[in-house]
Each structure stands twice: as structure tokens, then as C-alpha cells.
Amino acid sequence: MMSILHICSIADGGAAHSAIRLHRGLLKANIDSKVLFIDKPNAMLSQGEYSFFKEFPSNKLEKFLLFVKRRFLWRIKLIFLSGRPKGFEWFSTTETHYTINKLAIFKQAQVIQIHIGTDFVNYESFFIEPKAFILTLHDMHAFTGGCHYSSGCEEFVAGCRNCPQLATPWRHILPRMALSKKQRGIVASRTVYVAPSKWLLGQAAKSKVFEGKEGFHIPYGINVGLFKNDETEPAVLSDDPRLILLFVAQNVGNKRKGFDLLLAALQEMKVEKDRLAIHIVGSFSDELNLPYEVISYGYVHDEVEKTKIYNNADFFVAPSREDNLPNTVLEALACGLPVVGFNTGGLPDLVVNNFNGILVDEINASGLSDAIERICGDSKLLSTLRNNASKHFKDEWIDSHEVASYLNLYARIHQNEQSGNKLRTKNL
């Protein structure tokens, strides 16, 4: 039986949840699957989950030195990242002090599947190991000079020689060195990459990091036994007769998620205030000056509770400027919510314009405002979109299908290891 080790530097967020969901699906399929985090409290570790700090075989001196190295690298990174232009997400370097390949669970695994390697994977020592590697891409970081989303920049294609996300002089040095290090580490390894969205697969194929490597398209899968359109369930959280617009993001203030565009769109709209209410899931601190009532649930960890919130809403807005394949959109569609968003990133993989949602071509508040007004002003359109959202939810977006696709990929990798034949870039 093939043994899989998933590498996931953090234990929270959409990418981590996707990795954990796949791991648990593999366990149900009787696959030897494990997940390694940098640090996760013992009380929160589930079956097959491990924390580096618990697994690292070290004495007190080694642990102290590891702590010192960690703090030192953190301070160095802050120097590199000082003076960055505002509005960008975190920029991650390739420097790390972790030695994953010394762990027993790493040595025992046949396939190493990296989900989030940020600050965890040492590209110089990690990929020289005689193992098969899968890079599952949840954002662009694996093939750029450090950014997680490029905001339209394609410097990663040419070598990241002039990064708009860093201040001078680091913008000309740091990304180029990081990209070169990634390329050197991966080029000689037995690595394939997987992208959940067609957009991200296309972006990865342009990068020098994956030059000559095989890429596969495997969408995320969610539990449709949990996330489903439950018309028999009463509105548990509210009996509000108004249409409810739902927005969900782990960090509402993340500019890439487009909450500022949604706020501007709501300010522009001519929809009467007794026609619409705004429900928000996620963390934010600013006061919202809107003409509509706003209900904030904060960050919701419990998926059952989150499902009730979806079922209590009428439509979902995903105004991201750039995104992979948002789990929140998959969850909303499964619960029968039509989705309004921009025709960018992986959203067109999920939303068909005027069928199960509305896609806006230009990324601006005006277009978003028009789309929301259409839904609020046309009850027949909203009914049609809602009906199509859940009834035409594709099999490839179900968790069991994702597990089956990865099992197929693992089998192909095993055959490739035996025969030496190359895999082809394709859907699974």
C-alpha cells in the first residue's frame, strides 16, 4: 500500500482545510496518509496528523538552537520586506531552518505531497531525496519569487527580476534568487504539480520552475452530505424577510478578496434598504457605513454552523480580484446559492454566467453593483439561478471524486517509477 505524507506548514485557512479534507478522504479509502504541520497543538491533532516540533528528535539544546534560528530568520525576513507597497498579501522567502527530511515519517513515505511549503520546505535539501513529489498548488507561491498571488504580474515567467511587491533594492535581488533556488531544487527531482483550477494550471505551466514537469488538473471536492441545499430546514439564524447577501472570507480585510469593491458596490446601489440585508462571515475590525443592515458572524469554525448560514442566505458574492478555486464558492453552490463575482481566476470553472450565477467581466464596483441589482430586482432570475446552483453541482466537485482522482495520480506515479515513462499534462 502506498504511503503519502502531506506537507502543510499551517493548520488553518482554505488551503489547509483542503489538504486536511483530502487526507481524511484518503484514510477512509484505506490509504496510509499522514499530514505534517509546523506546529499544531496536541489536543487538536486528529488521526494521521503530526506536528514538526513534536516529531523532531532533539534534545533541549537542539530545541533551543531551533528556536534561536527561527527568531533570527524572522527578523531577517522583516528587513527584506520593509517598505513594501501597500495592498499586497504576505511575501514569503525560501529561507527555512526546518529539516523535514530527517523525520521518520518523511523517510517512510513513498510520495511527498506539498500543499503549503511556505517557511517549511528547504528547496536545496528537500527535493534531492529519492522520492516522488507532488506539489498541490493552492496559490502561486510555489512557482514565483515569493508572492502568493502576482496581481497580474508575469515576472515569474522571465525570472522575477523586478518585483512590484517589494521595495528597492530587494525587488531586483530577493525574488530572482528565490525563484532560481526553487528551479534548481525541482528541476532534477521526480516532481509533478496539481492545480485545482484551470487558471492556476495555466499560470504554473508558464513558470520556469515547472519547465519540463507534468501538470494535472484536480478540482477541490467538498462534502455534499454536509454542504447541501436543505429546503426543509427552517431559517435557524434569522427570519429576516429581506434578501440576504452573503460574503465569506477568513480575512475580510484582505484586499485580494475584494471586500472593498463589495462595499463600494453597495454604496452605489439603488436597491431599497428594506429589500436587502448583508451577512458576513470572517474577521474584520472596521465600522461599516452602509445603507443596509449588516450582520457579522465573525470567523465560523464549525462547518455545520456554516452550512446553516449558507442555507439562510439568498445569494453569495465572491468579489475576489484574483483567486484559485474558492472553497466558499463551492460550498455556496452546493447549498443552492447563486454566486456573483468577477470573471477571473478559477471562478469561471465554477460559475456559468446567467446559469448558476453572474460573472462580471471588468473588476470594478460599478459592474458588481449592476449584477447585485439584477438579482435583487428580478425574483424569477434569482429563482432560476438558485435552482441551477445545487441541481447542476458537478460530480468532480465532490470530495469522493477528488480522492479518486488522486488515487489515480498516485497509481500513475507508481507506474511511472516502475517503467520510467513520463506522465502527461492532463485532467484527472
Residue 226 placed within a domain: no
Residue 425: per-residue pLDDT: 46
What is the rounded distance in angstroms from the CA atom of residue 416 to the CA atom of residue 221? Answer: 26
Residue 308: per-residue pLDDT: 94
Secondary element (H or E) of residue 377: helix 365-377
245-255 pLDDT per residue, tens: 999 988 887 88
Q: Give yes or no: residues 369 and 408 share one domain.
A: no
Residue 238 placed within a domain: no
Q: Give yes or no: residues 126 and 196 share one domain.
A: yes
CB 314 within 8 A of CB 389: no
What is the rounded distance in angstroms from the CA atom of residue 299 to the CA atom of residue 284? Answer: 9
346-369 pLDDT per residue, tens: 999 999 999 999 999 999 999 999
Residue 315 placed within a domain: yes
Residue 237: per-residue pLDDT: 47
Residue 231 placed within a domain: no
Q: Give yes or no: residues 16 and 161 share one domain.
A: yes
Q: Give yes or no: residues 273 and 155 share one domain.
A: no
Number of domains in the chain: 2
Residue 6 pLDDT level (bands cut at 50, 70, 90): very high
Residue 236: per-residue pLDDT: 43
Mean per-residue pLDDT for 3-18?
92
Residue 34 pLDDT level (bands cut at 50, 70, 90): very high
Helices (H) and strands (E) in the chain, counts: 15, 14
Mean per-residue pLDDT for 130-134?
93
How far, CA to CA in Å, does 2 sit from each of 85, 134, 393?
46, 14, 31
Mean per-residue pLDDT for 179-195?
93
Residue 228 placed within a domain: no
pLDDT more than 90, % of the chain: 63
Q: Give yes or no: residues 117 and 103 share one domain.
A: yes
Q: Give yes or no: residues 402 and 375 share one domain.
A: no
What is the rounded distance in angstroms from the CA atom of residue 32 to the CA atom of residue 228? Answer: 29
Residue 227 placed within a domain: no
Residue 426: per-residue pLDDT: 52
Q: At residue 233, does pLDDT exceed 70?
A: no
Q: At residue 1, does pLDDT exceed 70?
A: no
Q: Give yes or no: residues 343 and 408 share one domain.
A: no
Q: Give yes or no: residues 60 and 114 share one domain.
A: yes
Q: The CATH number of the domain where 117 resides is what?
A: 3.40.50.2000
148-170 pLDDT per residue, tens: 999 999 999 989 999 999 987 88
CB within 8 Å of 285: residues ≥ 6 apart: 253
User: Cell numbers at residue 272, please?
Assistant: 431599497
Residue 59 pLDDT level (bands cut at 50, 70, 90): low
Listed range (102-106, 149-153, 250-254, 276-280) with the worst mean pLDDT: 250-254
Q: Give yes or no: residues 420 and 390 share one domain.
A: no
Q: Give yes or no: residues 135 and 281 share one domain.
A: no
Q: At residue 232, does pLDDT exceed 70?
A: no
Q: Give yes or no: residues 415 and 343 share one domain.
A: no
Residue 136: per-residue pLDDT: 98
Three-class SS of residue 353?
Answer: strand
Secondary element (H or E) of residue 282: strand 276-283
Q: Which residue has the higher pLDDT, 232 or 93?
A: 93
* Amino acid type, 145: G
Q: At residue 304, does pLDDT exceed 70?
A: yes
For 401, other C-beta atoms within 10 Å of its C-beta total 17
Residue 95: per-residue pLDDT: 77
375-414 pLDDT per residue, tens: 999 999 999 999 999 888 989 999 999 999 999 999 999 8
CB 260 within 8 A of CB 286: no
Domain that holds residue 299: 243-394
Q: At residue 423, does pLDDT exceed 70?
A: no
Q: Give yes or no: residues 144 and 20 share one domain.
A: yes
Residue 99 placed within a domain: yes
Average pLDDT of the chain, as a whole number: 89
Q: Which residue has the higher pLDDT, 96 or 162?
A: 162
Residue 305 placed within a domain: yes
